[in-house]
Amino acid sequence: MELLSARLTALSPSETFAMAQKSNELKAQGIDVINMSVGEPDFTTPVHIKEAAKQAIDDNFSFYSPVAGFPDLKKAVCEKLKNENDLEYTPAQIVVSGGAKQSLCNVILSIVDKDEEVIIPAPYWVSYPEMVKLAEGRSVFIYAGIEKEFKITPQQLEDAITPRTKALILCSPSNPTGSVYTRDELQALADVLEKHKNVYVVADEIYEHINYIGKHESMAQFDNIRDRVIVVNGVSKGYAMTGWRIGWIAAPQWIASACSMLQGQYTSGPSSISQKAAVAAYTGDQSCVTEMREAFERRRDLIVNLLGQIPGLKVNNPMGAFYIFPECAGYLGKSYNGKKINTATDLAMYLLEVAHVACVGGDAFGAPGCIRISYATSDENITKAIARIAAALEKLI
Ligand code: PMP
Ligand code: GLU
């Protein structure tokens, strides 16, 4: 008999990883699948970062690290925040974890109580509502469609806040839409939050470095809410280090202490070798970051152009990250070989089976009329994949 806890029974599996798994299974059968499902840079980790990790092994960084991370990494993070974002933090406000995912979950478990509300702008990244469920909180979704560049308005935020609201999770640059809030837009949201002193902002800035508007705008820059902002970031995306599992928060000290305590009972500090690699990422030559960002921007232009030629798709122009989130509602309700495509997830399955392109249905992101395509792959793959998608969509009647 299976006796899972209610907590686990309520949880949904990660749709991004599920689609990646399906894509890998088809690949293992010898099928030429182009995987645009899971979002991770296709670049390998820059050489100087890998060298630092090798050196860390030789230097015997084989022991437990302090729970909240090595002092040199916390210092490097503070310097990065100062130099890149003009933000002052002390090392005691930084907690390093096993990826930004753990950082986020630590924060949510640390501040959200049973039945407290967490406002999540939709489309959202798949894991936020699941983390809120783990904390026994309640997700409150506010939707912004493609016509608003998938960005919420201050009024929507104001309307969603209740006496039970504990936090807002804001992701910019956004997964899954690629949208980026401008400084003015963030300021307007901060001005709403200023009036609601019990509401915290979890600012997921993991795509900071993959930004085509010129400069990253952090939610922590506004003095009127600064003591209620928890910045979540890490090396996974900007430095092509998804497998190294290093993320961090910069937070009010009492929240940092709570996350550190939670982590101390749960996972301990993250990998010592990966932390040393992350120090090299932050303190070393940053030209790798620029080069990767430029490649992503070029690919963004390519995919926007190619998808824009497919009739029936509404295509957004992402300003960051490496996702595009076209609206495909016009194709829902159509059929292929008598089989009806009812949902965006059905459409993603159809594209996987017929076009051999893996993407993720918008349902998992709270946007049932859209699909997410990751363009963190070569120009050649992008061109081939979009041609296949176009041909497959044409077959639908
Ligand atoms: N936030 C968002 C919006 C993401 O897309 C990801 C990537 N999965 C994460 C957090 C987690 O990043 P990490 O791989 O460092 O855990
Ligand atoms: N951020 C990536 C994505 O959304 C990785 C998968 C995940 O962590 O869910 O595809």
Render pLDDT for 128-175 as a digit per residue (tens, 0 to 9). 999 999 999 999 999 999 999 999 999 999 999 999 999 999 999 999
Give per-residue pLDDT as tens, 259-309: 999 999 999 999 999 999 999 999 999 999 999 999 999 999 999 999 999
Q: Is residue 19 located within the same domain as residue 58? A: no
Is the Cα dihedral 135, 104, 23, 385 positive or negative? Answer: positive
Residues 27 and 70 in one domain: no
Within a domain: 114: yes
Are 224 and 194 in the same domain?
yes
Q: Measuring from each residue's beta carbon to the nearest atom of ligand 2, which residues come in under 6 Å?
A: 14, 16-17, 38-40, 101, 126-127, 175
Do 224 and 346 fall into the same domain? no
CATH code, domain carrying 148: 3.40.640.10
Single out the residue in 232, 249, 283 at which a domain terminates.
283
Separation of 326 CA from ligand 2 center, angstroms? 18
- Evaluate whether 252 touches 201 at the Cβ level (below 8 Å): no
Measured between its terminal Cα atoms, the distance across the chain in Å is 45
Nearest CA owner, ligand 2 atom 3:
39
Q: Are residues 17 and 95 in the same domain?
A: no
Ligand 2 pocket: which of 15, 16, 130 to mutate (most atoms within 8 A of CB): 16
Quote the CA–CA distance of 142 and 235 in Å, as a whole number.
29
The answer to the question of residue 1 being in a domain is: no
Cβ contact 386:305 at 8 Å: no
Torsion of CA 153, 366, 181, 170, to 10 degrees: 90
The answer to the question of residue 194 being in a domain is yes
Q: Would you say residue 109 lies in a domain?
A: yes
Residue 349 maps to a domain: yes
Structure tokens at 173: 């640059």
Q: Which residues pair with 233 in a beta bridge?
A: 248
pLDDT at 194: 98
**Category of 191 on φ-ψ map: left (φ > 0), alpha (ψ -120 to 50) or beta:** alpha
Same domain, 233 and 358: no
**Probe target for ligand 2 pocket from 11, 37, 125, 207, with the most ligand atoms within 8 Å of CB:** 125
Per-residue pLDDT reduced to its tens digit, 247-267: 999 999 999 999 999 999 999
- Which ligand ends up closest to the CA of 171? 1
Question: What is the DSSP track for 243-294?
Answer: GG--EEEE--HHHHHHHHHHHHHHT-S--HHHHHHHHHHHHS--HHHHHHHH
Q: Which residues line ligand 1 (CB under 6 A)?
A: 39, 99-101, 125, 171, 175, 204, 206, 234, 236, 242, 247
Instruction: Say how many Å lie between the CA of residue 175 and the centre of ligand 2.
Output: 8
Which residues 6+ apart lie within 8 Å of 109 measured at CB? 131, 134, 135, 262
13, pLDDT greater than 90: no
Q: Return the structure tokens found at 368.
A: 């049932």
Do 313 and 253 belong together in one domain? no
Query: Does the pLDDT value for residue 374 go beyond 80?
Result: yes
**Residue 331: predicted pLDDT:** 97
- Examine the pLDDT at 376 and tell me if it is beyond 80: yes
Q: 12: which DSSP letter? A: P
Final residue of a structural domain among 283, 317, 349: 283
Query: If you average pLDDT over every residue of the chain, what do you get?
Result: 97
149: left (phi over 0), alpha (psi -120 to 50) or beta: left
Q: Give Cα 148 distance to the centre of its chain.
A: 20
pLDDT above 90 as % of the chain: 95
Which of these three, 262, 283, 304, is where a domain ends?
A: 283
pLDDT at residue 15 in the model: 85
DSSP state of 26: H
* Residues spanned by the domain of 312: 6-44+288-394
Whether residue 1 has pLDDT greater than 80: no
Domain co-membership, 76 together with 169: yes
- The answer to whether position 254 is within a domain reads yes
Given a cut of 90, is residue 14 above it in pLDDT?
A: no
Q: Is residue 86 part of a domain?
A: yes
Same domain, 58 and 27: no
Taking the C-alpha atoms of residue 380 and residue 25, their distance in angstroms, rounded to an integer, is 22
Mean pLDDT within 22-29: 92
* Same-domain check for residues 294 and 277: no
Mean pLDDT for 109-116 is 98
Residue 388 lies in a domain: yes
Tens-digit pLDDT profile for residues 39-76? 999 999 999 999 999 999 999 999 999 999 999 999 99
CB-CB contact of 284 with 113 (8 Å): no
Domain shared by 207 and 329, yes or no: no
Q: Based on the fold, state whether residues 274 and 366 are members of the same structural domain.
A: no
Q: How high is the pLDDT of residue 17?
A: 87
Q: Which ligand is nearest to the CA of 20?
A: 2
Residue 18's pLDDT band, with cuts at 50, 70 and 90, is confident
Counting the structural domains of the chain, the total is 2
Task: Check which CATH number belongs to the domain holding 370 and give it.
Answer: 3.90.1150.10
Residues in the chain: 397
Ligand 2, atom 9, lies closest to the CA of: 16
Summarize the confidence of residues 9-27 as an average pLDDT.
89
Separation of 22 CA from ligand 2 center, angstroms? 15
Ligand 2 atom 2: residue of nearest CA: 39
